[in-house]
């Protein structure tokens, strides 16, 4: 397999190899692919969690378990000030 890199990407790969962190350009590329897969898995998990939270919110709204908008902002403001203390 041939891989085309921009000059900046090639300099980055060479810098990693020259630093001794990696023995070859292939190791750099393998590590990059592992990190890319990990990023995709994390994004998918976050998406699933968000969809679940939206579904919970919709169920709460349908059963009239709503909180006044101003009350939500007061609570958020309180949590922010607790963090700052």
| Region of 22 on the Ramachandran plot (φ > 0 left; ψ -120 to 50 alpha; else beta) | beta
Picking from 8, 28, 5, the residue whose alpha carbon sits closest to that of residue 18 is: 28
Q: Where are the domains of the chain?
A: 7-84
In the chain, the largest separation of any two C-alpha atoms, in whole Å, equals 62
Q: What is the pTM of this model?
A: 0.63
- Asked if the model's pLDDT at residue 83 lies above 80, the reply is no
Q: What is the pLDDT of residues 10-44, one digit of tens each?
A: 999 999 999 999 999 999 999 999 999 999 999 99
């Amino acid at each position: 397999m041939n891989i085309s890199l921009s000059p900046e990407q090639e300099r980055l790969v060479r810098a990693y190899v020259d630093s001794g962190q990696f023995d070859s350009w292939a190791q750099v590329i393998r590590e990059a692919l592992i990190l890319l897969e990990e990023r995709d898995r994390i994004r998918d998990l976050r998406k699933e969690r968000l969809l679940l939270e939206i579904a919970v919110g919709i169920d709460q709204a349908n059963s009239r378990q709503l909180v006044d908008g101003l009350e939500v902002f007061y609570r958020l403001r309180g949590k922010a000030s607790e963090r700052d203390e």
